[in-house]
Amino acid sequence: MGDELPRLGAWVKLPAPESVELLALAGFDFAVIDTEHGAIDLRTMSTMIGLARGCGIAPFVRVAGTTPRDVQVPLDAGAAGLFVPQINSVAQAQDAVRAVRFPPLGRRGASTSGRAGQWGRAPLGDYLRAGNDDVRLIAQTENVTALSAIADIGAVAGVDAVFIGPMDLTVSGRFQEGSPEMTNLITAAEQSCADHHIPLGTAASADAAELLQRRGYDFLVLGADTTILRQGAHALVNSVRTATPGAGR
């Protein structure tokens, strides 16, 4: 469906549209407005989506679930795609597709009066085609069962890519971070996606280049606005904190 997935993104957790603008200026390809874990209301989310489009960065939304309230508002507001958490089986992936896609693939309600319909300007046929062909549905696989079935989940019609959620996988599997069991499970999932040509993403940090160049990932989420702010502030303070006042006098 559609073109290649944008490659480098970040979570947006702060309810501040300026976070989206700053990520665009930093050169990110997409932002994921996090309504699952972030305290972002619907009005702010819609503003972020519009601002992202104006700044040339793709606006994705991580939703809390697949109820009409979860998915309809961001889609009508013009989201480029949705990250749907806890898709741990083919049946759950199919349910997500039904929530996100227009008939005959799903049951999404239609209204061209929002940003996705160019505020009523878009012909109905173009609006429906874009919703089914251009809007991306990213299934987050976040437990052991999900990773074992990751290629089957990714092959569900209407799913565009799968995303390995390392933190939820660690918690749900009761793994130690970096444990051989967890590493082997992820490696097997990566290979399964490669064998079946399933686009794959994950959250990354220092290992981002390796994930793209050697391990076959198609897109990465490189932290969050909150993390970037904390790390930058910490580095700035530490660079000055070690200085001794008056030492050079």
State the DSSP string of 50-94: HHHHHHT-EEEEE-S-SSHHHHHHHHHTT-SEEEES---SHHHHH
Contacts of 148 (CB under 8 A, 6+ apart): 185, 189
CA 206 vs CA 25, 228, 233: distances in Å: 21, 13, 18
Structure tokens belonging to residue 144: 């052991």
Check if 37 is active-site: yes
Write down the catalytic residue from 37, 196, 197, 234: 37
DSSP 102: P
79, amino acid identity: A
Which active-site residues does the annotation give? 37
